[in-house]
Amino acid sequence: MKERVLIKYLGESAQVSVPESVEIIGDDAFQEHKHIEIVILPQGLLRIGKWAFSRCSSLEKIEIPQGAISIGLSAFRSCTRLRTVMIPDSMEQIMGKAFEFCKSLKSIRIPGKITVIAEKTFSNCAGLDEVVIEDGIKEIGAWAFEGCTGLKSMKIPDSVEVIGECAFFECMDLSVIEFGRGIERIKYNAFGETAWLENQTDDFIRLKNILIKYKGKGKNVYIPSDVSLIGCGAFEYNRNLETVILHDKIMEIDDKAFYDCINLITIQIPSSIKMIHPSAFVSCHKLYKLILSCYIDKKETVSELWKIYHGIYAERITDFHIIIPSENHMLHINDIILLNTDGLFINYDVYDKIFTELKLLGDKAAMAVTRLLFPFSLSREGYCMYYNYLRDNAKEVAELFIRTEQMIYLRVITELSLLPCEIIDTIIELSTELKKVEMTGYLLGYKNEAMGYEADEYSL
């Protein structure tokens, strides 16, 4: 022990009572202990560190006392005999993978102070058949309950706004879902391979204003009038689709919405569209006619226009129609369309030129990351322009991506080694303060693995 931190347990007992003076169970303190079956934690405990009890293969029960506020990354991962966990109402943060592969865990109650159920928190808990999510939780993170094959029903409270990518993927017996009224976004494949999705009989599977999935067989599809968001993967891999017409209440087309619709030829996009996300039309190889009703007033800037267009990555669009109310409303439209004579949608010379005209950090950062993700025909000079911008503004860019929850962009700048060691702690502190659990877990992993550092106390 050191200053109320239990650094390492070296005993061999099956039942362990942690001393009352301990406030923090340190990183790896009980990791891979084969004999422990029951742990009694002190009433003054505040935090459980990362990997603290991971792979304790005999651990069956643990009761976390009232007053504890944090469970670290992978803290109980692969405790394969763990059946009972009591999480107190005081708990504010459970880091990613905390209970992953706890295949004997039967039930769990998640208090509302936690706000975000982090990435893979209960992934592959095959025995889990009862989950209570308390009101107050705003997001169910990516892969949070993936592979929980014992789940048959789920009640999602009104406080939940976002259901993350593959959150319930391969929960094959999950057939009953009671959705709360607060849901605003359902990310890619959130309910993939579930009985609930399989049992839906309508062509258009909708939740509120979100089109989750199209299960029809039609070649020419008109989107229902109550839909304003085409969800992630809504039409992906559809082999019948040839034409899509969107009504004038559609505001957003999410990631991979039409991914690999290999026979899609024409889509008509109304003026109401505010955002087309990256990869919305990737691998639509036959898409050659895009009709975009674009109403442009004099106040719009290059960056605002780019926000609408940047998500369209169709390989070959040879017929691109822009409907303008009057010539007086045209603003650099020939530059913004980004069409070249070969029929490719992205004219990268123009794209790179636009970058130099942008002023806002958010626009420049997103455009730089996108260009480095798709470096087609990118010269060394161009690469250096984008790379140097992200490097020179690394702190501000990282903070922006955390505040706006741009996880993909955050991954790109770390994979490009654009987060220097002197700012990583500041970035983690911000992510922790804002309770961006998934991002904090990722950044801690990046710091510990890529840089070889140990996490500080705040990260537990």
| The pLDDT of residue 294 | 46
- Residues 6+ positions from 417 with CB-CB distance below 8 Å: 450
**Beta carbons within 10 angstroms of residue 376's beta carbon:** 9
User: For the chain, what percent of residues have pLDDT higher than 70?
Assistant: 83
| The pLDDT of residue 417 | 87
Residue entry with tokens 């009057």: 326
When mean pLDDT is compared across 143-147, 347-351, 392-396, 445-449, the lowest value belongs to: 347-351
Axis crossing angle, helix 407-415 with helix 437-445, rounded to the nearest 10? 10
| The pLDDT of residue 265 | 84
* 0.85 surpassed by pTM: no
Parallel/antiparallel/unpaired status of strands 204-207 and 210-214: antiparallel
- Residues 6+ positions from 358 with CB-CB distance below 8 Å: 302, 303, 306, 364, 367
Residue (of 115, 117, 114) closest to 96 by Cα position: 117
Reduced to 3 states, what is the DSSP secondary structure of residue 262?
Answer: coil
Quote the radius of gyration of the chain (alpha carbons, Å). Answer: 25
| The pLDDT of residue 330 | 27
Residue 390 β-bridge partners: none
Compare 310 and 354 and report the one with higher pLDDT: 354
**pLDDT beyond 60 at 308:** no
- Residues 6+ positions from 18 with CB-CB distance below 8 Å: 6, 25, 39, 40, 41, 42, 45
| The pLDDT of residue 459 | 37
pLDDT tens string 414-434: 888 888 888 998 999 998 888
| The pLDDT of residue 416 | 87
| Mean pLDDT to the nearest integer, 246-257 | 88
| Mean pLDDT to the nearest integer, 340-354 | 53
**pLDDT beyond 80 at 309:** no
| Mean pLDDT to the nearest integer, 240-257 | 89
Compare 255 and 123 and report the one with higher pLDDT: 123
Fold of 106-199: 3.80.10
| The pLDDT of residue 255 | 85
| The pLDDT of residue 278 | 66
Compare 277 and 203 and report the one with higher pLDDT: 203
**pLDDT beyond 60 at 200:** yes
| Mean pLDDT to the nearest integer, 39-57 | 95
Task: Provide the pLDDT confidence category of residue 452 given band limits of 50, 70 and 90.
Answer: low
When mean pLDDT is compared across 9-13, 57-61, 390-394, 402-406, the lowest value belongs to: 402-406
Cβ distance 186 to 209 under 8 Å? Answer: no
| Mean pLDDT to the nearest integer, 221-232 | 94
Residues of the chain with CATH 3.80.10.10: 1-85, 106-199
**pLDDT beyond 50 at 162:** yes
Burial of 315 (0-12, 13-18, 19+ CB in 10 A): middle
Mean per-residue pLDDT over the chain, rounded: 83
Report the top-level CATH class of 211-356.
alpha beta
**pLDDT beyond 50 at 398:** yes
Report the top-level CATH class of 1-85.
alpha beta
What tokens does 410 get?
């955050």
| Mean pLDDT to the nearest integer, 117-146 | 96
pLDDT tens string 262-279: 898 888 777 787 777 767
**pLDDT beyond 50 at 315:** no
